[in-house]
Amino acid sequence: MAEFKTTGDIVKGVSSSDDNERLEATTFFRVRLSERLSTENTPPSKISIPSALVTQFVSFLDRKDFPELQIEAAKALTNIACGTSAHKKLVIRHGALEKFVGLLNSTGNVVHDLREQVVCALGNVAVDDYKDRDIVLRKGALTALLPHVNQPAKPSMLQNVVWTLSNLCSGKPHISLDQALSYISDGTTDHTEAVIDASVCTNLVHLLNDSSPSVLIPALDTVAKIASINDKLTQVQS
């Protein structure tokens, strides 16, 4: 078993060609960071996280052949997102959100524990800062989460999905209704039909007369998505 006495040792470990050493280094980092974050004597602002570690953890999310490493990497990124705004920006900047959403949307053989961990990570990124929340929404997290409300793998998954959804709906300024409809209609046909069934199409058309780009753009985007699904929905739209 490798020894990790310094941050440099951990970076070397996650960069190793030996998958077992990568797993050991990732687990060691995750546990040590968790301990430091839970200790009042160590403010998150004093914790330095090298970009090289985040880069490796994000790449490990693709390791379908090694689910243990995938899960540990997701846990490590979840813990990083528990830190400061700068720590969250590291997670965002290195492309973790796209990977998280991709894992939630995947119809392939993704381990349930990995999906659940990804949900927690998204919730951590979205909480506290509305700018980070909006980035999570723009990456498609809302539509990726909704199917797991209807068919959660287990009760804890539903609990975590609801918690993350609450974070996406929290913070000020709140997302507007037209923005929310745009995010929802980004998903499946069922999501778009739900928007239509809510009888909001007439109001959306009225919003197209608004001169504010922050209102006009999401309203136009939603109308376009509804109209492009299929002939049936286009007919309802008109």
* Token pair of 195 as six digits: 């928007």
Mean pLDDT over the full length of the chain: 82
Contact status, residue 136 vs residue 126, Cβ threshold 8 Å: yes
Element (H, E) at 163: helix 155-168
DSSP 171: S
State the Cα angle at 178 between 196 and 217, rounded to 5°.
Answer: 110
Tokens 């199409």 found at: 201
Model pLDDT, residue 201: 66
Alpha-carbon gap, residue 161 to 16, rounded angstroms:
34
**Can you list the domains of the chain with their CATH numbers?**
7-175 (1.25.10.10), 176-238 (no CATH)
Q: Is 42 helix (H, G, I), strand (E, B) or coil?
A: coil
pLDDT in tens, 116-157: 999 999 999 998 888 998 899 889 888 888 888 877 788 899
Contact status, residue 169 vs residue 177, Cβ threshold 8 Å: no
Q: What is the pTM of this model?
A: 0.75
Residue 109 CA from chain centroid, whole number: 19
